[in-house]
Amino acid sequence: MPQQRYSLPDRERFERETESVFKEKDIHYSLVECELLAVRLPYAKARIVQDTHILDRKTNDIAAAEYRNSSALLPGGERVEYINTFKKENGKWKLLLIVSEMKIIKIEKAEAQ
C-alpha cells in the first residue's frame, strides 16, 4: 500500500536534502516547547521551540547550504521558535508547513548546563 503523503510544498526536494544532510552531518533535534495555538479540523497551529545540536555546519556545496538554511534543516541558532501548521490524516497529526520565520532564542547559560 503506498504511503499517504501530505501537501508539504516541494516535498521531494525537502526529502532528498533531508536525507543528504543527515548522512553528511550528525544532527539532533530536541523539542523544548509545543504550545497549541488553534485547532480548526483537520488543521492545527502550534508554537514550537526547538534545539538543534550539530557539531559541524560547514559544507562544500553552496547551493545545498543555502537550501538547508531556507528550509529549516539547519536553523541559524541552537534554539529557535516558530509556528507550524499540522493536518490530521488517518488519525495522525502530520507537519504541513512552517508558517513563520525561525526566531533565534538566546539560551541562558544556567539553563544550558
pLDDT tier, 47 (very low <50, low <70, confident <90, very high otherwise):
very high
Q: Are 73 and 108 in contact (CB under 8 A)?
A: no
* Bond preceding residue 42 cis, omega within 30 of 0: yes
What pLDDT is recorded for position 52?
A: 82
Q: Evaluate if residue 56 carries a pLDDT over 50.
A: yes
Q: Can you spell out the DSSP letters for 21-32?
A: HHHHS-EEEEEE
Q: Which residues of 71-100 are buried (b: 16+ CB within 10 A; e: fewer)?
A: ebbbbeebbbbbbbbbbeeeeeeeebeeee
Residues written for the chain: 113
pLDDT for the residue 2: 40
Q: What residues does 31 pair with on adjacent strands?
A: 50
Where do the domains of the chain lie, and which CATH numbers do they carry? 11-112 (3.10.450)
CA distance 26 to 15: 17
Model pLDDT for residues 61-75, shown as the tens digit of each residue: 666 666 555 555 666
Q: How would residue 5 be classed by pLDDT, with cut points 50, 70 and 90?
A: very low
Q: Rounded to an integer, what distance in angstroms lies between the CA atom of residue 46 and that of residue 30?
A: 16
pLDDT tens digits for range 75-96: 666 899 999 999 999 999 998 9
Query: What pLDDT digit, counting tens, does each position of 6-43 carry?
Result: 456 677 887 887 777 777 766 778 899 999 999 999 99
